[in-house]
């Protein structure tokens, strides 16, 4: 696979002139989501993440179980080998329990303890009673395997890192990335991995960095899942060059680098939304896009333009901030026959609703609106926006599956770029074009 191709996209129709578009990668694998493990409570996600803090000299492990939120601690990850050695020496001085202590307590060899705590009891044919004795000793002594020590020996930790480029880790249930994180946690448990959350912020602007003093902060984990929008892709390019295993949630274009990612198929979802509007008689479908053109929004626009070309209707995209959308623009759009709009963000839909109310119009009776991502509100109480559903939890699960496959060995026929289908919009704010509308079928 070669580097991504950038091109200029000129926007016709109403509104602003031109913007830079990002060409989508050709033919990634499109996968149906696989159901994840059952959740402990109906309608709720019991989120349990084991967080191992590398800079905690006591060697304790910490767990936090909550409903729809994480109890997080700031973790300072040590990647430098010399610093890791200092930590190990400090642990010994503080008397933290070791595998030798566990072996003496259980009355077995240290090799037996190592096999049990590293999940290899079955392959080493350790009797169940012996395994139970070792685990009892581990519990009684409060022993926790040290990931830094395993890294020094070049062994796997069975720990996956999770890093976000966002300024705040997505612990709130309303956060866009929260459901991704739940899917990551669910699949990590199913695969037998713990999660290490990289939460320290290095830059004054709040943008989280992968490297600190030239060292990869993620190295303490076997591999990592990355999420969030980074304004600078240089860290991703460097990770790729160094061969560190990672999977990004969301499609990412990094020139000269091959990035493994899992994303929603935004282009296909947008094509389907346009096709449905055309089936309902709409012939002039406007497109309201945000000005910050990251890969996900570029994919939506690409799907819109492709659908317009295939269906023989004009492409009428406008790129602006929601607050720049005025009632004068709205009047101009209606005068030119627009009867439906696709909105990249719910804020556009809210503005359209306000303008429609000012003009004595109703949604969807006089105007159809589709939001191209999940939306929380609607034009009036009890009527949610027709919106494209993003399979967030499934994407999180698939990212972990792909990462574990990567860690298992070299790719034979593995697809490192995966698209998952979105759920189609409900017909809550979409209806047939009014018979007297200029933009409808005659």
Query: Does residue 123 form part of some domain?
Result: no
* Res 342 pLDDT > 80: yes
**CATH number of the domain residue 311 falls in:** 3.40.50.2300
Other CB atoms within 10 A of residue 416 CB: 17
Query: Does residue 136 form part of some domain?
Result: no
Three-state secondary-structure class, residue 373 = coil
Task: Lowest mean pLDDT of 288-292, 374-378, 420-424, 433-437, name the range.
Answer: 433-437
Confidence of residue 362 (pLDDT cuts 50, 70, 90): very high
Residues 315 and 374 in one domain: yes
* Res 220 pLDDT > 80: yes
- From CA 173, how far away is CA 182, in angstroms rounded? 10
Residues 86 and 184 in one domain: yes
- From CA 93, how far away is CA 114, in angstroms rounded? 21
Query: Does residue 415 form part of some domain?
Result: no
Tell me, what's the pLDDT at 364?
96
Distance of alpha carbon 363 from its chain centroid, rounded? 32
Tell me, what's the pLDDT at 146?
60
Residues 10 and 58 in one domain: no
Query: Does residue 203 form part of some domain?
Result: yes
Three-state secondary-structure class, residue 214 = coil
Instruction: Kindly state the tokens that stand for 231.
Output: 């304004």
Q: Give 49-108 as a DSSP string.
A: EEE--TT-TT---EEEEEES------------HHHHHHHHHHHHHHT---HHHHHHHHTS
Residues 52 and 163 in one domain: yes
Residues 180 and 285 in one domain: no
Residues 305 and 223 in one domain: no
CB 195 within 8 A of CB 404: no
Q: What does the pLDDT look like over 93-112, one tens digit per residue?
A: 456 788 889 999 999 998 89
Domain-ending residue, one of 206, 222, 250: 250
CA 129 vs CA 103, 137, 355: distances in Å: 14, 12, 72
The segment with the largest mean pLDDT, out of 6-15, 197-206, 314-323, is 314-323
CB 82 within 8 A of CB 67: no
* Res 360 pLDDT > 90: yes
Tell me, what's the pLDDT at 433?
92
- From CA 367, how far away is CA 353, in angstroms rounded? 9
Q: pLDDT exceeding 70 applies to what percent of the chain? A: 70
* Res 409 pLDDT > 90: no
Instruction: Kindly state the tokens that stand for 147.
Output: 């990931």
* Res 426 pLDDT > 90: yes
* Res 69 pLDDT > 80: no
Query: Does residue 430 form part of some domain?
Result: no
Domain-ending residue, one of 222, 250, 278: 250
Residues 232 and 295 in one domain: no
Domain-ending residue, one of 337, 370, 387: 387
Total count of domains within the chain: 2
- From CA 407, how far away is CA 411, in angstroms rounded? 10
Residues 197 and 287 in one domain: no
Domain residue limits at 200: 46-97+143-250
Tell me, what's the pLDDT at 82?
38
CB 251 within 8 A of CB 417: yes
Residues 279 and 167 in one domain: no
* Res 40 pLDDT > 50: no
- Tell me the average pLDDT across 363-369: 97
Phi, psi for residue 160 in degrees, rounded to 5: -110, 135
Per the document, the length of the chain is 442
- From CA 422, how far away is CA 427, in angstroms rounded? 15
Look up tokens 């101009």; give the residue. 332
Residues 50 and 12 in one domain: no
Residues 293 and 151 in one domain: no
| Closest to 230 measured CA to CA, from 206, 214, 212 | 206
Query: Does residue 418 form part of some domain?
Result: no
Residues 235 and 363 in one domain: no
- From CA 150, how far away is CA 156, in angstroms rounded? 7
CB 84 within 8 A of CB 57: no
Instruction: Kindly state the tokens that stand for 197.
Output: 């959350």
Mean pLDDT of the chain: 78
Q: Looking at 68-210, which runs of residues are DSSP E strands? A: 159-164, 194-198
Instruction: Kindly state the tokens that stand for 226.
Output: 């990355």
Other CB atoms within 10 A of residue 376 CB: 10
Query: Does residue 367 form part of some domain?
Result: yes
Query: Does residue 115 form part of some domain?
Result: no
Confidence of residue 116 (pLDDT cuts 50, 70, 90): confident
Q: What does the pLDDT look like over 293-325, one tens digit per residue?
A: 889 999 999 999 999 999 999 999 999 888 899
């Amino acid at each position: 696979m070669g580097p991504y191709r950038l091109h200029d996209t000129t926007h016709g129709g109403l509104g602003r002139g031109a913007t830079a578009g990002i060409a989508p990668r050709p033919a990634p694998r499109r996968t149906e989501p696989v159901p994840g493990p059952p959740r402990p409570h109906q309608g709720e996600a019991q989120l349990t993440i084991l967080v191992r803090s590398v800079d905690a000299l006591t060697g304790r492990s910490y767990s936090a179980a909550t409903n729809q939120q994480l109890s997080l601690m700031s973790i300072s990850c040590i990647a430098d080998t010399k610093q890791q050695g200092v930590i190990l020496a400090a642990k010994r001085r503080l008397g933290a329990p070791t595998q030798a202590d566990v072996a003496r307590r259980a009355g077995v060899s240290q090799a037996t303890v190592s096999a049990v705590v590293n999940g290899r009891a079955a392959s080493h044919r350790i009797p169940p009673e012996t395994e139970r004795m070792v685990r009892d000793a581990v519990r009684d002594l409060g022993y926790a395997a040290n990931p830094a020590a395993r890294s020094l020996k070049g062994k796997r930790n069975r720990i996956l890192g999770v890093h976000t480029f966002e300024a705040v880790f997505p612990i709130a249930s309303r956060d866009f990335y929260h459901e991704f994180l739940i899917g990551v946690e669910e699949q990590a448990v199913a695969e037998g991995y713990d999660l290490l959350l990289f939460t320290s912020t290095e830059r004054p602007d709040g943008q989280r960095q992968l490297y600190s003093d030239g060292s990869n902060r993620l190295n303490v984990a076997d591999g990592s899942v990355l999420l969030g929008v980074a304004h600078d892709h240089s860290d991703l390019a460097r990770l790729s060059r160094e061969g560190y295993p990672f999977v990004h949630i969301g499609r990412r274009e990094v020139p000269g680098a091959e990035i493994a990612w899992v994303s929603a198929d935004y282009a296909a979802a947008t094509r389907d939304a346009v096709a449905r509007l055309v089936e309902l008689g709409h012939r002039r479908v406007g497109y309201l896009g945000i000005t910050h053109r990251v890969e996900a929004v570029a994919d939506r626009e690409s799907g819109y333009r492709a659908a317009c070309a295939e269906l023989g209707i004009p492409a009428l995209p406008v790129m602006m901030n929601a607050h720049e959308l005025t009632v004068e623009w709205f009047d101009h759009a209606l005068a030119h026959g627009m009867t439906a709009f696709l909105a990249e963000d719910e804020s556009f839909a809210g503005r359209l609703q306000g303008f429609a109310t000012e003009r004595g119009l109703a949604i969807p009776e006089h105007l159809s609106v589709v939001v191209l991502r999940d939306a929380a509100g609607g034009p009036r109480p009890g009527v949610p926006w027709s919106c494209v559903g993003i399979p967030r939890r499934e994407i999180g699960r698939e990212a972990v599956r792909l990462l574990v496959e990567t860690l298992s060995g070299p790719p034979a026929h593995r697809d490192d770029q995966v698209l998952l289908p979105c759920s189609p919009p409900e017909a809550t704010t979409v209806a047939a074009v009014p018979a007297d509308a200029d933009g409808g079928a005659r």
